[in-house]
């Protein structure tokens, strides 16, 4: 009798856990589908290479699912971007070390190694070629300006403006205080405006 | 933030959104594969744990059954009265102090019954 009750209780618990797991997987799928494109572009601006950015986004997805799937859904975005930003920072550290080592063995740079602007350029989406060109040029200018920002300013700007995280979420993603986020963001906006306003004076993105 | 800053923010966000919308099909496909890979790992981790749940449950149930039906019925070599299980002792209203001298009471009972036989 007791054994039967115990088996029933365990099987009910397993069934209920299975249903919860399935629901959690659906929520994870939905969350990742919502953030993956923006995350890719943010990573791409961070490392200037789409393939590397794809790898970083995939790593961030796997780490989020592996370590934080049980957290509340509202915590996923800051945690995901924290993982991604850490990945980008690690990537830069590795590149720095690699470049210091490889500088002695490097051949002269060829065009094959350059970032392929044409391959990374966005596809047409119903806009005229002139508008596309104007947008592409504006975006390239913005990307270059963002890439030249100090790391923390760049992170604050991309998380707040591109991803739309609030100050609290950005602070979690960056691993710093909300006051620091506000300072970095303020400085980033002003540095970008100063650099880009002359380029953007002639026309806006369409 | 002042109005020019907010305007600049809106424009940059719009520009970024356009670049996101315009990602090519090949890149979107790779993103989708990455997502499925991550989710597959989560699924595998969960099902890996769940696979052992029924076996663990059955083992626990069998253990409970064995303990309940074949649990120790004597303490320090002293045979407890048949009806007196551990639970009854714990739930009974008798003073728990009496149980410490249970061996003495058993001896007393034996002596009394022997005396009765003699007389």
Q: What's the whole-number mean pLDDT along residues B101-112?
A: 80
Tokens of B12: 């940059």
Q: How far apart are CA A111 and CA B59, in angstroms?
A: 65
**Residues B2-49 pLDDT 10s:** 888 888 999 999 999 999 998 999 999 999 999 999 999 877 766 655
**Residues B52-93 pLDDT 10s:** 666 777 777 778 777 777 665 555 555 555 555 666 666 666
Determine the distance in angstroms separating the CA of B48 from the nearest CA of chain A, rounded to an integer: 12
Residue B100 has pLDDT above 90, yes or no: no
Query: A6 and B64: CB-CB below 8 Å?
Result: yes
What pLDDT is stored for residue B62 in this prediction? 79
Query: B50 and A18: CB-CB below 8 Å?
Result: yes
**CB nearest to A142's CB, from B1, B15, B62:** B15
- Residues of A with CB below 8 A from B57's CB? 6-7, 9-11, 14
What pLDDT is stored for residue A6 in this prediction? 57
Residue A163 has pLDDT above 80, yes or no: yes
The winner for highest mean pLDDT among A2-11, A102-111, A112-121 is: A102-111
**pTM of the full structure:** 0.65
Could you tell me if residue B24 is left (phi over 0), alpha (psi between -120 and 50 degrees) or otherwise beta? Answer: beta
Count of A-B CB contacts under 8 Å: 141
- Residues of A with CB below 8 A from B85's CB? none
**Residues A52-94 pLDDT 10s:** 999 999 999 999 999 999 899 999 999 999 999 999 999 999 9
Give the residue extent of every domain in chain A.
1-108, 127-206
Q: Is the CATH code 3.40.720.10 the one for domain A127-206?
A: no
Burial of residue A183 (number of CB atoms within 10 Å: 0-12, 13-18, 19+): middle
For chain B, list residues whose CB is within 8 angstroms of any CB belonging to chain A. Answer: 1, 4-5, 8-9, 11-16, 18-24, 27-28, 30-31, 34-35, 37-39, 41-43, 45-46, 50, 53-54, 56-58, 60-62, 64-65, 68
């Amino acid at each position: 009798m007791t054994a039967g009750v115990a088996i029933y209780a365990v099987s009910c618990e397993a069934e209920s856990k299975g249903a919860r797991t399935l629901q959690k997987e659906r929520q994870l799928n939905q969350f990742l589908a919502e953030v993956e494109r923006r995350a890719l572009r943010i990573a791409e601006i961070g490392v200037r290479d789409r393939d590397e950015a794809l790898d970083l986004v995939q790593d961030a997805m796997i780490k989020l699912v592996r370590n934080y799937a049980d957290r509340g859904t509202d915590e996923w975005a800051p945690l995901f971007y924290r993982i991604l930003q850490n990945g980008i920072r690690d990537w830069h550290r590795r590149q720095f070390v690699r470049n210091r080592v490889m500088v002695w063995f490097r051949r002269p740079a060829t065009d094959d190694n350059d970032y392929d602007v044409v391959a990374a350029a966005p596809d047409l989406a119903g806009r005229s070629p002139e508008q596309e060109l104007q947008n592409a040029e504006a975006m390239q200018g913005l990307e270059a300006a963002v890439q030249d920002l100090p790391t923390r300013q760049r992170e604050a700007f991309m998380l707040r403006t591109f991803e739309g995280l609030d100050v609290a979420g950005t602070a979690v993603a960056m691993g710093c205080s909300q006051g620091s986020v506000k300072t970095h963001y303020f400085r980033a906006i002003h540095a970008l405006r100063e650099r880009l306003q002359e380029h953007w004076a002639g026309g806006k993105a369409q | 933030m002042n109005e020019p800053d907010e305007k600049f923010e809106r424009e940059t966000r719009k520009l970024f959104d356009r670049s996101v919308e315009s990602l090519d099909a090949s890149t979107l496909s790779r993103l989708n594969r990455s997502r499925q890979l991550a989710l597959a790992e989560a699924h595998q981790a969960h099902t890996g744990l769940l696979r052992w749940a029924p076996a663990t449950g059955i083992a626990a149930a069998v253990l409970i059954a064995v303990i309940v039906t074949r649990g120790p019925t004597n303490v320090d070599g002293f045979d407890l009265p048949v009806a007196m299980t551990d639970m009854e002792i714990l739930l009974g209203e008798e003073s728990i102090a009496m149980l410490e001298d249970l061996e003495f009471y058993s001896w007393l009972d034996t002596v009394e019954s022997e005396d009765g036989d003699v007389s």
